[in-house]
Every structure is written in structure tokens, then in C-alpha cells.
Amino acid sequence: MFRALVLVAGSVGGLSGAAISLLNGQSKKARTIIGKSRALPLNADGVYLPDGSGPVAGEPGGTLSFAMLGDSLAAGLGAERTDQLPGVLLARGLADESGRPVRLTTHAVSGSRTSDLDEQVDVALIDPPDLAMVIIGGNDVTSRMRIGTSAAVLAKQVRRMVRAGTTVVVGTCPDLDIIAPIPQPLRAIASRWGLALARAQRRELERLDGVSTVSTAALLTPEFLARPDELFSDDRFHPSGAGYELAADLLLAPLCDAAGLWGSRDLTHA
């Protein structure tokens, strides 16, 4: 995946042959250190109650439906326990804030790029959720997908959900500067590319009603840089359970705000 980033950097930056050779060597080193996870993310979809229990059998009346879409960060790859999955943490937080049961459905697939989001949205719209969280973009950075194309595809898929009546919150592309196994200067290139993608995502989504964006880079980068041993899993690429707990704490407020839960005990679409 980092090989593609090297090719893009060379094509747009006019890098010398020696510089590209250096970056190629660094991309191989990063792949070796990070490795390729063969594990599937944990899953604990189901209904969560305001008293903190769940998942429970059946579905009580007045249930708020909540979906997670995107890549490995939305799926929770790296969490050690199901109660540390971002979807579970957010579902429990939403149940507590709304006073209603929350049904969590995870459509996110590890390794997904924005171009893969249409399949997830297809499934989600079979029974459109009241509220959805989308986290996507990191894999676009390490592929050859153009920033403008990526942002436009994201807006198209989010628009489909909004038209179906879903309130959507999008966590924009994270800052890859926090991934220490990517050596410099390759990490700096990845960081610049990811931040540029996050800005493009936000610009595209600001044109849509019923959509909110959250800068995962601004919210999470300082903490992950300060506490890498605690907040990263063993692969040093994905968050640990503690990392997902931190992320969920920060993402819950924008979700509640978008859903109209502040000062209310009911969901209203923006």
C-alpha cells in the first residue's frame, strides 16, 4: 500500500530517482514492521439499553437504529474486547443520552477505501438507520485514489443515506503522522496527503444538509502522539481498546449534537 504512495509522491512532487529509491526502501520497511493483520475485528452488534446492558435479545419499542460504516477504524480492528469496539461504545453512549434503546449494526469492513463504501451503503439502506457514523479515508491515502475523486465519492454515498432519512456524521481522514512504523520522510508525505484529503472531504460534505463532519486528526492526533504505547494495538497501526475508548469519548458529542439529543430525549433529523 505504501508503494502506491511513493508513486504518487514521485509523480506530483518531481522527486529525484534517489529520493524515490529511498522512499521505496522505507515503504518496504513499513510493510515489514506493520505486517498484514489476518484477524477479523470483533463484533457485538445488537440492542443496547439506557441502563448500560446489552446486547440484548429482541428489540424494545422506540429503538434508535445506529450504523457504523467505513474502514478498520469504524470496525474496531485492534480492540481487545467487544466492549471496547467503537460502535459498542457509541451505541451505549447514545442509549444513555437519549434514554432509548439503540440498535447497533456494523457495516464497516477492514481495508475499505472510499470506493468500497457503495456496497456498505447498499446493505445499510435495506433498512435505513436513524443515525450513521462513517470513518473512511486512511486506505485512500496509501492507494492511488485521487483526493478529489475520493471526496466526491464519499459525498455521493453520504447523500444516498441522507435522502433515505439518515442523519450522518463523518469522521474525516486521520493524520497518518501518528503511525510511527512509517519512517520519515514517507510518514510526512502520508500525513500531508491525509490532511489534504480530510479538507477535501469536509468541503464536499459541507454542501449537504443532514451531515456533520468531525476532524479525527484534530481530536486524536495530540493524544496518540503523547501516549502511543497505551493507545495503539500491537500492530502499532490500529488503535488499542484504550485508543477506541478515547476516540468514542470524543466522537459521542458530535453524534449527539447531530442527532438533536442535547436537551432532548428524542432523535430529530437535521
The number of angstroms, rounded, from the C-alpha of 270 to the middle of its chain's C-alpha atoms is 21
Residue pLDDT, tens place only, 71-87: 999 999 999 999 999 99
pLDDT tops 60 at residue 264: no
Task: Tell which CATH classification among 3.40.1350.10, 2.60.40.10, 3.30.565.10, 3.40.50.1110 matches the domain 37-259.
Answer: 3.40.50.1110
Catalytic, out of 37, 83, 143, 235 = 235
Catalytic, out of 27, 72, 215, 240 = 72
Half-sphere exposure for 143 (CA within 13 Å, toward CB): 15
Expressed in angstroms, the distance from the first to the final Cα of the chain is 37
The H-or-E segment that residue 10 falls in is: helix 2-13
The number of angstroms, rounded, from the C-alpha of 51 to the middle of its chain's C-alpha atoms is 27
User: What are the CA-CA distances from residue 180 to residues 43, 176, 185 (Å)?
Assistant: 27, 9, 11
Is 235 an active-site residue? yes
Question: Which residues of the chain form beta strands (DSSP E)?
Answer: 46-48, 64-70, 102-106, 131-135, 167-171, 211-214
The larger pLDDT score, comparing residue 86 to residue 35, is at 86
Is 107 an active-site residue? no
Residue pLDDT, tens place only, 223-234: 999 999 999 999
Catalytic, out of 45, 140, 238, 240 = 238
Residue pLDDT, tens place only, 140-177: 987 778 999 999 999 999 999 999 999 999 999 999 99
Mean pLDDT of the chain: 85
Q: If pLDDT is split at 50, 70 and 90, which confidence band does 262 have? A: low
Give the model's pLDDT for residue 22. Answer: 42
